[in-house]
Structure formats: C-alpha cells, structure tokens
Amino acid sequence: METILVLDFGGQYKELICRAVRNLNVYAIIESGNISLGRVKEINPVGIILTGGPQSVYSENAPKCDERLFDLGVPMLGICYGMQLMTHMLGGEVSSGEVGEYGQVNVTCDFSESDLLNNIKLEFVALMSHRDVVSVPPPNFQVTAKSPNAIAVIENKNRKLYGVQFHPETRHTKFGKEIISNFLDVCGVVRKYRLKDYVSEKVESIRKHVGVKGVLLGLSGGVDSSVCAALLSKAIHGQLTCVFVDHGFMRKDEGDEIEKIFSKFDLNFIRVNAQERFLKAIEGVSDPERKRKIIGNEFVRVFEDESKKLGNIPYLAQGTIYPDIVESGGEFGSTIKSHHNVGGLPEKHNFDGLVEPLSGLFKDEVRKVGIKLGLPPNLVNRQPFPGPGLAIRVMGEVTHDKLEKLKQVDAIFRHELESLSKKPSQYFAVLTQTLSVGVKGDERTYDYVVALRAVSTDDFMTCEYSDLPNKLLRKISSKITSEVQGVSRVVYDISSKPPSTIEWE
C-alpha cells in the first residue's frame, strides 16, 4: 500500500496532517521524528512529511531526524518546525524573528513555477504559529512565497524537498487541501486508499492472527467498541465474546440501553455489573491521569475474571483508535491524556495477546466502517463517550452522590439539545469542584457549580464551541438548578481546541 510517513516532532496538528492525506485517498501513518533509517526503509513511504513542533531547531536538545532521510530520493514536505528543521540540516539558517506570526496571515506567492503552489491564487490566508523564521534558505532552494514577516514556502524541485511555514492541514489555511494534494502529485501517488480495502485487509489479518482461538472484547457500547464488535464478528464469527462492563460511570440509563441494543446482535453478550468495584478502586483519587490508569487496569482485571469463567479466552480485543494512541504520548509529543485502553493497560495480564483492529483509524473513518458493516446509523453516530465515562467528568474525587448529580444534569442537557435541528458534534456536562453561594426558597445555599460543554468539529482533533441560543441556555440552566438537588450555578464553556481539549480531564 502506498504510504505517506508523517514524522512527529511534537506538533499539535500531526493527526490533522495524517487525516488530510487519507482524505485524499492516500494511506498515512505517524511515527516519531527520530525513527531509524532502517524502519523508514521497511515502511517504504512514497513521501515523508515533517510536522511542526514547539522547540527551536537551533536549541541544544531540539528533536531531529536522521539526516540520511534527505538523500533517499523520497519527496519530503516540512511544515512549520519541519521546514525550519529541513533548512537547519541542509545548510540554511534559522533565527528568532523580530515579530512572531500567530493566527491567520496573508501569504503572497513569489514564483514563476512552483510544485506546491500550482493552481493556487497569488494571495491567500494561512494559519501561522511561529516566532522563529528561515532567514537564509538552504543552497539550491527557491523561495516561492512570503508572509509579511517571514519566508512562507521554499522548494528544491530537483531533490523534491519542500517547506511551508504555515499549516496547510488546518481548515484555517485557504487552499491547504490543494497544497497537500500538490505534494502528493509530486510523490506520484495513485490514490487507491479506500476504507473497504482496510476492512478486507483487517479481516484477513485478524483471522491469521487469532486462528481458531477465542477473543474477548471489552464492549463499552460506544462507537469505537461497537464497530470493533461488528468487525470482529465478521472476521471470526462464533469465536467472539463481548463483555460489557458496567462500571457505574455511564450516563443515565445507558447501561440498560446498551444491553438492549447488543442483546439483539448475533454474538455472545455478557453484562458485568461492577459499579461498586470501580467506585472503590478510585476512592480518594483526584488526579485525572491516575483515575484513567486505575480504571484501565480494573477493566482488564474484570476481563481476566470473566475469561476464567469462560475457560480462559486467550485474546483480549479493544476498540482502540488512532487518536487514542497518538494522544497518549510519543517520543516528542506530550501526553495529552492517557486513554484507558492504551495508557491504562497494565504490563502484566493473563491474555496471550491483544487485538485492536481499529487502531489505525480516525473517528470519522470508524463511523464509515460501522456503516459499511451494517450497524444502524443511530448507533454509529451516537455521542462520543470516553471509556472512563463520568469518572473524568466529575472533577476531583468521585463519589456516588456526585455521580448521581452529574447523571441528572447531563440527562437534562442532552435532552434539551436533542430538539435542535442542527446538533453540536458533542455535548455533555461536567461537575466542577467549585462550590458557590446561592439562594433557594429564601434560604442560602452553598452548592456545586456545573459546566456545560458543546462543540462543533469534523475531526475531533480541533473544535469550536457551539454558539447555543441564549434562550435555550437559560431554559437548561433553570431546569438544572430547579430539579437537581445540590446544584446552584450553571456555566457554559466557550473554549476551543486548542488550547483546550474537548473533555475537561
């Protein structure tokens, strides 16, 4: 399969780069920027993209790639830090600019012929996020575009090496998709990547890996694990047991709803009610990373217990998707948050191996696979829900009383938003640790503050807050403070990602 290799230097948009390439029907994967030359040759990419990153390339411990990559004859595109790294390693100069450029900036093309800017308007807006600049391009590189304070694009057409100071992978850059597409043209790609091919390849891979042995799937009822169940059922029908662990952190009545849905499927479905077990496991724990890891560990222990009852099923399957892996940290990328099915998995467990058939897919791709596998749209398009559930939407220590309050608040919020003709991509409530003075029935109260979160996104890598009508927010706030005991104040989160994440913890 023709593959674009995305080398990560800690940039926040690496997933968007990968996804942008895939949306142009070319397979792309993310690896650490210091990947070995041997591993690159194993992957045999048709093109390489160097991501952005937070450091300065001239710093002593700045991340770098193997300099021999530039001599492979493989087309390369450096984005932001990636462009500066290419410049630095190939004999150009990078320095701190007098003025930084952040946000949308006008870029002016300055070229007679350009591979990257082919069929692009002479002026366009691009997303910049840099202070350092390329002050002197490497030898034999041509400057083909500039911004008010920096060189914006450099090209060496003979060696097929290119650099852009802006971020074409984001929707904030006009013609960003076209620029990436032009780079793919330089790579000579056929653009044959299709999800149906991924599914068929995974089915064969699962059959070869598992053989005739049994697989236990930790089913949460969310999109990822549901699609994973459908894919595994297609690949190894009759060998799959789905264990739904109700950890008590589900949304109101959700455990019963999940059982009702999957009881109709042609698979072995088991529900384990482990609410008290999980609540006790995180008793007194306030740190969100510890919560995630404890819950992840407890999940596996429950699966081990169920496996023993069923005669020791050798394989454990999980609905891990690509962003789970990327966000859980890498060589140069910081850990945004550990996912219970990645960072929380204990090193020692009683399973012979793991099966994670969705680990190469983004969320939108997972949904498309679910439809292709025949899952109902209302299940495939349901609200995203983290594995640790409401345990990471209760700030600080989790108690039964806090959970019940949050379940009621969340149910009211979600019910009211269901009436909208155009719903946000994701919406939920958070129980904060803040207590606030209020008045109910002429009496002073000192109760919890809850936060409401609704975002719009097409990739879940970035998002904008949803601009909900004031009238609707007023109605929701009134219902919550009237109907939920112990809540006196409601606030609405208007943060975007970045700098925030979608979840609070």
DSSP per-residue letters across 369-410: HHHHTT--HHHHTSPP--TTGGGGTB-SS--HHHHHHHHHHH
* 80 belongs to the catalytic site: yes
Q: Give dist(CA 361, CA 30) in Å, integer.
A: 12
Q: Give the DSSP H or E segment for 85.
A: helix 81-89
pLDDT at 328: 56
Q: Which of 2, 31, 101, 169 is catalytic?
A: 169
Helix (H, G, I), strand (E, B) or coil at 327: helix
Tens of pLDDT, residues 446-469: 999 999 999 998 767 778 999 999
pLDDT band at 344 (very low <50, low <70, confident <90, very high): very low
Amino acid 263: pLDDT: 78
Higher pLDDT, 334 or 106: 106
Q: Report pLDDT for 326.
A: 67
User: Which residues fall within 8 angstroms of residue 152, CB to CB, at 6 or more apart?
Assistant: 107, 108, 126, 145, 146, 164, 165, 166
Say what the pLDDT of residue 187 is: 97
Q: How confident is the model at residue 258 (pLDDT cuts 50, 70, 90)?
A: confident
d(CA 294, CA 292): 6
Sign for the CA dihedral angle at 480, 483, 487, 489 comes to: positive
Query: Does the annotation mark 167 as catalytic?
Result: yes
Instruction: Please state, in angstroms and rounded to a whole number, the distance separating the CA atoms of residues 29 and 277.
Output: 38
Confidence of residue 335 (pLDDT cuts 50, 70, 90): very low
Q: How far is it, in rounded angstroms, from Cα 489 to Cα 472?
A: 16
Residue 36 clears pLDDT 90, i.e. is over it: yes
Residues β-bridged to residue 8: 32
Q: Which one of 18, 130, 155, 167 is the catalytic residue?
A: 167
In this prediction, residue 348 carries a pLDDT of 60
Distance CA 30, CA 27 (A): 11
Residue 50 DSSP SS3: strand
With CA atoms as reference, report the closest residue to 487 among 399, 404, 389: 404
Residue 333 pLDDT > 60: no
Distances (CA, A) of 397 to 393, 435, 488: 11, 14, 20
| Confidence grade of residue 339 (pLDDT, cut at 50, 70, 90) | very low
Using a pLDDT cut of 70, give the percent of the chain over it. Answer: 94
For residue 336, pLDDT beyond 50 = no
- The DSSP H or E segment spanning 130 is strand 123-136
Which of 7-11, 134-138, 320-324, 475-479 has the weakest average pLDDT?
Answer: 320-324
User: CA-based angle 386:390:396, to the nearest 5?
Assistant: 115
Per DSSP, 138 falls in state P
Split at pLDDT 50, 70, 90, the class of 283 is: very high
Q: What is the distance between the alpha carbons of residues 249 and 247, in angstroms, rounded to a whole number? A: 6
Q: Which of 115-129, 182-196, 211-225 has the lowest mean pLDDT?
A: 211-225
- Overall average pLDDT of the 410-426 stretch: 92
SS3 content of the chain, % helix, strand, coil (to 5): 35, 25, 40
Q: How far apart are CA 503 and CA 392, in angstroms?
A: 8
Side chain identity, residue 451: A
Answer positive or negative: Cα dihedral of 318, 500, 55, 61: negative
Do 140 and 148 meet the contact criterion of CB atoms below 8 Å apart? no
What is the predicted pLDDT for the residue at 327?
Answer: 62
The one-character DSSP state at 496 is -
Q: What percent of the chain has pLDDT over 90?
A: 61
Instruction: Based on the residue annotation, tell me whether 169 is a catalytic residue of this protein.
Output: yes
Q: Tell me which of 18, 80, 242, 463 is the catalytic residue.
A: 80
Per-residue pLDDT, 440 = 80
* Distance of alpha carbon 85 from alpha carbon 332, whole angstroms: 14
First to last CA, the chain: 37
Residue 269: name the closest of 298, 292, 246 by CA. Answer: 246
Q: By C-alpha distance, which of 388, 495, 458, 504 is closest to 15? A: 458
